[in-house]
Amino acid sequence: MNSTLNIVVFSGAGMSAESGIETFRDSNGLWENYAIEEVATPQAWQRDPDLVTEFYNQRRKTIIEATPNQAHEGVVQLEEFGDVLVITQNIDDLHERAGSKNVLHLHGNIRQSKSSGPNQEKAYYPIDGWKLDNNSRCPEGYRLRPHVVWFGEDVPCYEKAALKLHDADILIVIGTSLQVYPAAGLIQYASNAHTKYIIDPKADELHVPSDFIKLNSTASQGIANVIKSMRK
Ligand code: APR
């Protein structure tokens, strides 16, 4: 009988807001300044791969220059209570840079590239620095693209994430508007969790099952409060 607590943190862009990285749907969010269909769909890649590559190069530059914030560090501190898995919608590597070891990226990892060729899902290539060069090719000769799940593409580790959520004793949802599926639908799999939190300045406006404890605060303040309550 594994007595260790299984803690799952499910994070979104709000997790990195206090690191200075803009979210997608807040005022002046990323999707207010860029059209999704121009930079974040397979059709956009077919139409203008250089534009898509440059869009992610600029975001990668911002992410490399950013640093993890107290919320990322708080998630690492949760490890004093049990096994912590981070399931994140974010493509930044701030959870890892804060020290989280078990991170599942539902929507990819901007620090890696993959082949744009058919059936090339499994090979990922680390990008050195902020710039993925337009001439980068995989061994089979296909152009390299950002390892990012675009709108309309499958979420490769969805099933794995669902299984992990099924085993969660505590679920902490942080900094996501829960508007993008299938990722947002994953929280329903945490049916065995005895405690569920949602941390967001607009938590009261978010539609979650009634058994969630809503913390209307920033990620850093919210995770600090959760840690305080767990230490009691
Ligand atoms: N602390 C915590 N939450 C915050 C903070 C903060 N400092 N600032 C903003 N938020 C909250 C917002 O209130 C909002 O609910 O973070 C959430 C951000 O929501 P979105 O911008 O929609 O980001 P996210 O939910 O991660 O988007 C999901 O959409 O565009 C796709 O692939 C992209 O992974 C992304 C997905």
Q: Using the mean position of ligand 1's atoms as its centre, give its distance from the Cα of residue 144 in Å.
A: 28
Measured from the CA of 106, which atom of ligand 1 is nearest? 34
Residues 135 and 159 occupy one common structural domain? no
Residues 40 and 81 occupy one common structural domain? no
Joined together, the tokens standing for residue 164 give 């992990």
Residues 126 and 205 occupy one common structural domain? no
Residues 90 and 173 occupy one common structural domain? yes
Query: What pTM does this model have?
Result: 0.97
- Distance separating alpha carbons of residues 98 and 219, to the nearest angstrom: 14
Could you report the per-residue pLDDT of 157-168, keeping only the tens digit for each?
999 999 999 999
Residues 178 and 84 occupy one common structural domain? yes
Most ligand 1 atoms within 8 A of CB, residue of 107, 158, 176 to mutate: 176
Task: Identify the active-site residue in 72, 107, 166, 207.
Answer: 107
Give the C-alpha distances (Å, rounded to integers) separating 70 from 43, 92, 94, 130, 223. Answer: 37, 16, 11, 24, 9
Are the CB atoms for 203 and 43 separated by under 8 Å?
no
In this structure, what CATH number is given to the domain that contains residue 84?
Answer: 3.40.50.1220
Measured from the CA of 206, which atom of ligand 1 is nearest? 15
Residue 60's SS3 state is: helix
Could you report the per-residue pLDDT of 32-60, keeping only the tens digit for each?
888 999 999 999 999 999 999 999 999 99
- Distance separating alpha carbons of residues 167 and 219, to the nearest angstrom: 24
52-66, 108-122, 166-180: segment of lowest average pLDDT: 108-122
pLDDT at 45: 97
The interaxial angle of helices 219-231 and 70-77, nearest 10 deg, is: 20
In this structure, what CATH number is given to the domain that contains residue 125?
Answer: 3.30.1600.10
Give the residue numbers spanning the domain of 142: 22-65+115-148
pLDDT at 27: 87
Residues 203 and 136 occupy one common structural domain? no
Residues 74 and 127 occupy one common structural domain? no
Phi, psi of 17 (to 5 degrees): -60, -40
Pocket of ligand 1, beta carbon within 6 A: 12-14, 17-18, 23-26, 29, 89, 107, 175-177, 179-180, 200-202, 218-219
Q: What is the mean pLDDT of the chain?
A: 95
Residues 27 and 124 occupy one common structural domain? yes
Percentage of the residues of the chain whose pLDDT score is greater than 90? 91
Residues 40 and 57 occupy one common structural domain? yes
- Count of domains forming the chain: 2
pLDDT at 2: 55
Residue 205: partners with Cβ closer than 8 Å, 6 or more residues away = none
Give mean pLDDT, residues 48-73: 97
Measured from the CA of 17, which atom of ligand 1 is nearest? 7
Residues 223 and 119 occupy one common structural domain? no
pLDDT at 119: 78
Residues 142 and 162 occupy one common structural domain? no
Could you report the per-residue pLDDT of 191-215, keeping only the tens digit for each?
999 999 999 999 999 999 999 999 9
Question: Over 80: is that where the pLDDT of 75 sits?
Answer: yes
Residues 168 and 225 occupy one common structural domain? yes
